[in-house]
Structure 1
Amino acid sequence: MIICGLKLTHDGAVALLDNDSLVFSVEMEKIDNNPRYSEIADFQVVERTLKDFGYKPEDVDQWAVDGWDGCEAGYTSLTLREGKPETLRLAPYHENDSVTSILRPGWQGVFQTESGSISYHSYVHLAGHLASAYCTSPFARNNESSFALVWDGGCFPRLYYVDPQQGVENGGYVFPLIGHAYAICTSYFGPYRREEKPSLQEDLSVAGKLMAYVALGNPVDEVIEVLREEFTRYFESDTSEAVHYRNSLGGWGTRAEEPYVHAFYRSVATRLGQKHFTDEDVLASIHQFFEELLVERVAAKVRQWKGEGPWNLCFVGGCALNIKWNSALRSHPIFRSVWVPPFPNDSGSAIGAACAHLMATDGIGPLAWHARLGPDIKPSEPLPGWAGTRCSPAELGQVLHETGEPVVVVHDRAELGPRALGRRSILAAATDAAMKDRLNTVKGREYYRPVAPVCLVEHAPEIFSPGTPDPLMLFDHTIRSPWAERIPAIVHLDGTARLQTVGEEDDPTLRAVLSEYHRLSGIPVLCNTSANFNGRGFFPDAVSAMKWGKVSRVWSEGVLYLLQESVRD
């Protein structure tokens, strides 16, 4: 059975399953240097994406569409025939009185295209998150049960229990706070303070910056206590406002909860106004408050619901991009193992919609997949002024060692999700602290933003703590001494790093680059940051990197392109 999963709204994507194998997932932002979070507004995009992989709409047996905002139903506009947009009904954000099971379709409909009618099943938005996380997890592969924690920007953190034989149990929300609350705090503290209400894109952008910025401060117990008191007052008390917030709004993805969150932060800011805490310390305290709240409440709910464990846990949703929260959950003794997919945000929702339909029709089981099943590289000719020479992966490792210059790598099929893992990356030596500043400058990023390390998996334990295999760059590690002095470019302000390990099965090409660099330099680590225009998805081809022109070396499909001196000058 061939299932096509569609994410039509924010972070639009098309994914295709052939039985229990993922053939591809293409996010709209990774096509033609599209803006981040691009939607699918025209069905022709779906047809073109299928065609790129040798499929047609009529080859698809089942269509599964991700749900979206709204208590009773979600809606989106999609151009289907003769260039005319039509309104498509979708399942809601999460379960409700009508859609009582997360694996029950929230809506079944038909839409007409130029080539015929298409019947589709739409699943609640959180079903896609849950299904994408569990089906890609090692727990599914080993036929093990697992908790699934789903915390997206628009919902309260919700806990489920997935048993391959018994199905999915819904444990309800863990605490009543939407994920966007993390970014909203920057409206009141720090360098992103603003009077007007930010857009969704601004919230999502600032959340990633905040994760880095908090390293400039230190958590303060008094601030955390104020946050606890105001959190109880605004969200968990028995006042009519708090009860209405929990019961009537409830994290439906509509952003109706945001005025309550703003009121909470205004009250916190008022109470802290006379205390003379720095914004850096306040934001570090807010980050710590969220982390403690998440870990303590999830552990308590798990213990009350199923017992002491230890248990498996899948963590998914936009909040699972927070590597410090991921690591805090992983270190809690109630969890045996914690899995975060490489696409925890909505970039994995097309995969999730298809997996939800697979689970609903064929039962709960594993998906055969790989982290590098995104769009293939587009062939392109070098721009005038760029000269190309053959260069093997090992020779690229030599170039990185001998020149000390960064190289844009655009190679083979792109990574799934938002993290560049060596296929759409800028690689550079990590031995000079100035490299971090240089990479941040060419990418237009703030000075406090970290650059991630990529490391040969067998050497990670000697350099990082814990140094466990983490091929997807989704957990926090501390750099051991004296390695912090040897590879300063990848050391964050708090002494940590978002580690990516590389084994032979992860990416043989990237491993060959690292292995040769290690042989020559004695250092099994390189800098790795994403290759893209600011605010856009990964470069889809080598010529995009040349047009960007901030780095004078581009490696693609075994060719190293060098910007000539005459053009550079």
Structure 2
Amino acid sequence: MWVLGLNAPPMGWHDAAACLVDGDGVVHALVEQERVSRRKHAIDEQPREAVAACLDIAGVRPEDVDVVALGWDLPRHAARTDFGHGLPQRPWEFGDSRNFLTTALGWRPHMTRHPELVFVPHHFAHAAASFHASGFPAAAVLVADGHGDDESVSIFEAAHGRPLTRRERLPIPDSLGYMYDAVSEMIGLSFLEAGKTMGLAAHGRARDMRPWPMLEVGQDGYQPPFELPQNATQKEIVLGWWDHIRLLGYRRTTKSSDELDGDDDAVRLALSAQVSLQEAITMLANRARAITGHDALCLSGGVALNCSANGLLPQPVYVPPVPHDAGVALGAAWSVVPPRPGGEPISPYLGRAISSGEIDDALSAHGLYAKDVCPEDIAERLVAGQFGAVVTGRAEVGPRALCHRSIVASADDERARDRLNRLKGRELWRPLCPVGLPECDGEYWAANGTLHRYMVGASQVTEHAYRAVPSIVHVDGTARPQIIEDRNELMWSVLDQLRTGGRAPITINTSFNRRGEPIVDDAHGAIRSAVAIGLDFVVLEDRLVDLTDVMPASQDDGASSVLNRTKGQLSTRAR
């Protein structure tokens, strides 16, 4: 049996994804559409390429798929006329399932014989993904996002062998996600740049700013500063928040995103949203544990990407590598065939791998040569101040690069943060994250359970970290670490080499992509991005490509080749 889980339009209009599981609930592939189409967040894209990639990874044909599960209750929304394109705007009818499969997958299924199409309510899919990925035998599950099918927050009780049971939910006007979206847009960012708002809020904490009042948070609930009908639209909710923000005295900034840290009002507003979010999530987490009687807590939904809020919650807490909408592809599939109990937390490395032949073709096309990878050589390069990228194994899923598609650099030089941010086109006020060995928990930053497995929880750093690895310390004294435990990982060996040399077993770890692009997904893209960014080397599986003598052949980002230059011609290159 094969089950194909999806996040797809019309309801899943961003972060489309596909996930393939077998009859035992084993995940064979999870691919986000953006990685294949190369358009960030895959806005309004059907997950056709993601589906094709999943089938290719598993060696499965379309006709082998028995069930397609969508992480939205689409028939519930079919008659809506306020949502926009893609809905029939009438009750769901016979034949609509086939039409959806044709549109979403590009398949041409038979009218009466096609894979069963199952609709999983959105928050149930989020909850299933987080709980079954956690390895907990039983848990409270808290889902918070922009909105689900008709809710914005849900609390579930979960246990293996029993169906998910929703114990409480809040209406869409109470959306924490939309509150944060409204603030992000008000300070000049996109609603899909909430991570930047979170990073900006840290500057307010560092300056001891006093936050403006946003939510009224009590012991058993919270209240937005306005009242709207329970069927209010996203636009109405965001406008309600904008009206409140204006009443606070805030006016839209005229500064670019690069200058936001210099706008005290923008920083204060970001801090205000973050403080209110943290208070609300803490209250909801306490309530979820009290209602269900379970101490173990799983988080999901886009709000669960807020690592600052996650890091404040008492353990045990689990957040999957894909808590955002791409993760409902996993949860929808597992709602049909859950995994067997007693497993370890899910591996994040479920995407596509690059083949040796693909690497050969890319090196030949770009006129480059490679040598065998040596962890000691990589460590020496990092110590010497070089910046490099690592592309190895199957791609990680989710928005956090976890050393399979990462840029790495030495963490002991504070100047490296600004240099690397400039090369990637990032705002200089944004932090860079560390990757370290297990011994770093407690020595360089506070331990935080499984949150450091996928880089989804912030921790307060120690005084030792300020001295030894200053480039990974954010302005408020926190870091968002990844811990590598698997000794078979290339970066584990690199970190071990740093430790052997008397240095902290820590490097900078940031996503391997150019500004505005998804994380790289193939060998050609890896070389193009490495050269365009200005990296010194790139690792492609078991080969290392030295780029210190390589410059772009032209200023055209689409250039398919690079030009070898002499070292003497590199004197003007930013280092």
Cα shift at 1:296: 2.3
Cα shift at 1:319: 0.6
Cα shift at 1:462: 1.4
Q: Which residue of 1 is the match for residue 231 of structure 2?
A: 248
Maintained 8 Å contact 1:454/1:525: yes
Equivalent residues, number: 508
Q: Aligned to 1:560, what secondary structure does the other structure show? A: strand
Q: Which residue of 2 is the match for residue 454 of structure 1?
A: 435
Q: Which residue of 1 is the match for residue 540 of structure 2?
A: 556
In the alignment, the residues of structure 1 paired with residue 182 and residue 305 of structure 2 have an alpha-carbon distance, to the nearest angstrom, of 17
Cα shift at 1:23: 0.4
Q: Aligned to 2:544, what secondary structure does the other structure show? A: strand
In the alignment, the residues of structure 1 paired with residue 209 and residue 87 of structure 2 have an alpha-carbon distance, to the nearest angstrom, of 50
Of 309, 317, 321, 2:305 maps to 321
Q: Is 1:203 aligned with 2:191?
A: yes
Maintained 8 Å contact 1:75/1:87: no
Maintained 8 Å contact 1:66/1:128: yes
The amino acid of 2:246's aligned partner reads R
The amino acid of 2:277's aligned partner reads F
Distance 1:220 1:174, change over 3 A: farther
The amino acid of 1:562's aligned partner reads D
Q: Which residue of 2 is the match for residue 7 of structure 1?
A: 7
Maintained 8 Å contact 2:77/2:87: no
Maintained 8 Å contact 1:32/1:540: no
The amino acid of 1:428's aligned partner reads A
Q: Aligned to 2:191, what secondary structure does the other structure show? A: helix
Q: Which residue of 1 is the match for residue 559 of structure 2?
A: none
Of 17, 20, 45, 1:16 maps to 20
Cα shift at 1:442: 1.0
Q: Which residue of 2 is the match for residue 58 of structure 1?
A: 63
Maintained 8 Å contact 2:7/2:328: yes
Cα shift at 1:293: 2.4
Q: Aligned to 1:110, what secondary structure does the other structure show? A: helix
Q: Extract unaligned runs of 5+ from structure 2.
A: 254-262, 551-563, 570-575
Percent of aligned pairs sharing the same letter? 26
Cα shift at 1:88: 7.3
Of 463, 483, 499, 2:481 maps to 499
Maintained 8 Å contact 1:539/1:545: yes
Q: Deviations over 1:53-112 (max 9, x none)?
A: 311011122211221689634899xxxxxxxxx96779x9xxxxx9xxxxxxxx993345
Q: Which residue of 1 is the match for residue 375 of structure 2?
A: 393
In the alignment, the residues of structure 2 paired with residue 501 and residue 47 of structure 1 have an alpha-carbon distance, to the nearest angstrom, of 32
Q: Is 1:371 aligned with 2:348?
A: yes
Maintained 8 Å contact 2:53/2:352: no
Q: Extract unaligned runs of 5+ from structure 1.
A: 77-85, 93-97, 99-106, 194-201
Q: Which residue of 2 is the match for residue 171 of structure 1?
A: 167
Q: Is 1:489 aligned with 2:471?
A: yes
Distance 1:313 1:108, change over 3 A: farther
Of 191, 197, 205, 1:218 maps to 205
List aligned pairs for 1:137-216, cutoff 5 A. 137-139=134-136, 143=137, 145-154=138-147, 155-173=151-169, 176-188=174-186, 190=187, 192=188, 202-205=190-193, 207-216=194-203
Distance 1:74 1:59, change over 3 A: farther
Q: Which residue of 1 is the match for residue 499 of structure 2?
A: 518
Instruction: Please provide the CA RMSD for this pair.
Output: 3.6
In the alignment, the residues of structure 1 paired with residue 501 and residue 40 of structure 2 have an alpha-carbon distance, to the nearest angstrom, of 39
The amino acid of 1:536's aligned partner reads E
Of 349, 372, 386, 2:328 maps to 349
Distance 1:347 1:7, change over 3 A: same
Of 354, 358, 374, 2:337 maps to 358
Cα shift at 1:457: 0.8
Cα shift at 1:350: 1.1
Maintained 8 Å contact 2:458/2:480: yes
Q: Which residue of 2 is the match for residue 80 of structure 1?
A: none
In the alignment, the residues of structure 1 paired with residue 57 and residue 209 of structure 2 have an alpha-carbon distance, to the nearest angstrom, of 57
The amino acid of 1:519's aligned partner reads T
Cα shift at 1:534: 1.9
Q: Deviations over 1:351-378 (max 9, x none)?
A: 111011224xx99886884211111125
The amino acid of 2:55's aligned partner reads L
Cα shift at 1:272: 13
Q: Which residue of 2 is the match for residue 260 of structure 1?
A: 240
Q: Deviations over 1:293-335 (max 9, x none)?
A: 22124424643x34xx561111101111111111122x2xxxx
Q: Which residue of 1 is the match for residue 523 of structure 2?
A: 542
Normalising by structure 1, we get a TM-score of 0.80
Maintained 8 Å contact 2:466/2:473: yes
List aligned pairs for 1:25-104, cutoff 5 A. 25-31=30-36, 33-41=38-46, 43=48, 46-47=51-52, 49-67=54-72, 72-73=77-78
Q: Aligned to 2:417, what secondary structure does the other structure show? A: helix
In the alignment, the residues of structure 2 paired with residue 3 and residue 368 of structure 1 have an alpha-carbon distance, to the nearest angstrom, of 20
Q: Deviations over 1:171-208 (max 9, x none)?
A: 223582341211312444x4x27xxxxxxxx2012x11
Q: Aligned to 2:518, what secondary structure does the other structure show? A: coil
Normalising by structure 2, we get a TM-score of 0.79
Q: Is 1:294 aligned with 2:294?
A: no
The amino acid of 2:438's aligned partner reads V
Between 345-354 and 169-178, the greater mean CA deviation after superposition = 169-178
- More strand by proportion, 1 or 2? 1
In the alignment, the residues of structure 2 paired with residue 149 and residue 259 of structure 1 have an alpha-carbon distance, to the nearest angstrom, of 26
Cα shift at 1:503: 0.6
In the alignment, the residues of structure 2 paired with residue 520 and residue 364 of structure 1 have an alpha-carbon distance, to the nearest angstrom, of 42
The amino acid of 2:445's aligned partner reads F
